[in-house]
């Protein structure tokens, strides 16, 4: 060994600094390689999860006819959602051909969050043959796989929200009020007021309107006569004196 006679305890400060830098560089390379490997693995799983939005949800999911859809409703800031993400992506790869998996960012697609009544994150739902089922339980890979492969059929189903016009209009209204706040309420009230005025005028009877105008005219004439009466009395009293 060529360095067997070197006393490393007496090595110069420059050598110690150089060796420390080499160790730090090796550690950083190891961390970088680990991160790259994790990103590659995540991307390979993520390609099986479809991003669903307000615009494409109804067309892609298509009431879950033929192939069921498992959908994750989440928010980017949610810690539990971040923990679930790799499990959901791995589940998507395992269920290829059986169940399609998607995800909805409710901060970007508020309409879908309101339509499906999302109150917490993450919320997992399966849509199959025009019916909807909500997951309740431990969000492990095995539990989710069992649920998605048919376990959901043991749950009570509810109607697909897109099939109910009332739900759609309420979701649109709620989303609009959330996005535009007090301005949306003001515009809505003005619109309703204009509508009522229009309906009132369009349904008014012309004969009744004419009678009302004549009554107002008579009241104005009567008021004028009463106003002039004291002046006439004063003039008459002057003449008598």
Show which residues are catalytic: 78-81
Residue 72 dihedral angles phi and psi, to the nearest 5°: -105, 120
Place of tokens 């050598």: 15
Q: Which residues of 202-227 are buried (b: 16+ CB within 10 A; e: fewer)?
A: eeeeeeeeeeeeeeeeeeeeeeeeee
Three-state secondary structure along the chain? CCCCCCCHHHCCHHHHHHHHHHHHHHHHHHHHHHHHHHHHHHHHHHCCEEEECCCCHHHHHHHHCCCCEEEEEECCCCHHHHHHHHHHHHHHHHCCCCCEEEEEECCCCHHHHHHCCCCCCCEEEEEECCEEEECCCCCCHHHHHHHHCCHHHHCCCEECHHHCHHHHHHHHHHHHHHHHHHHHHHHHHHHHHHHHHHHHHHCCCHHHHHHHHHHHHHHHHHHHHHHHHHHHHHHHHHHHC
């Amino acid at each position: 060994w060529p360095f067997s006679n070197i006393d490393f305890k007496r090595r110069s400060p420059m050598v110690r600094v150089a060796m420390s830098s080499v160790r730090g560089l090796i550690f950083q390379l190891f961390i970088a390689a680990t991160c790259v490997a994790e990103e590659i693995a995540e991307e390979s799983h993520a390609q099986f999860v479809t991003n669903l939005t307000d615009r494409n949800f109804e067309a892609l999911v298509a009431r879950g006819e033929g192939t069921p859809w498992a959908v994750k409703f989440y928010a980017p800031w949610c810690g539990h959602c971040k923990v679930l993400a790799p499990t959901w992506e791995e589940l998507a790869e395992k269920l290829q051909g059986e169940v399609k998996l998607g995800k909805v960012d409710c901060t970007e697609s508020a309409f879908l969050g309101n339509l499906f009544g999302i109150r917490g994150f993450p919320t997992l739902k399966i849509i199959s043959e025009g019916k909807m089922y909500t997951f309740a339980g431990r969000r492990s890979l095995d539990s989710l796989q069992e649920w998605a492969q048919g376990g959901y059929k043991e749950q009570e189903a509810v109607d697909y929200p897109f099939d109910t016009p009332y739900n759609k209009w309420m979701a649109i209204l709620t989303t609009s009020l959330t996005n535009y706040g007090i301005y949306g309420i003001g515009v809505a009230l003005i619109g309703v007021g204009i509508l009522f005025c229009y309906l009132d005028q369009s349904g008014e009877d012309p004969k009744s309107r004419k009678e009302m105008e004549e009554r107002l005219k008579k009241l104005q004439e009567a008021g004028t006569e009463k106003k002039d009466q004291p002046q006439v009395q004063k003039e008459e009293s002057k003449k008598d004196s």
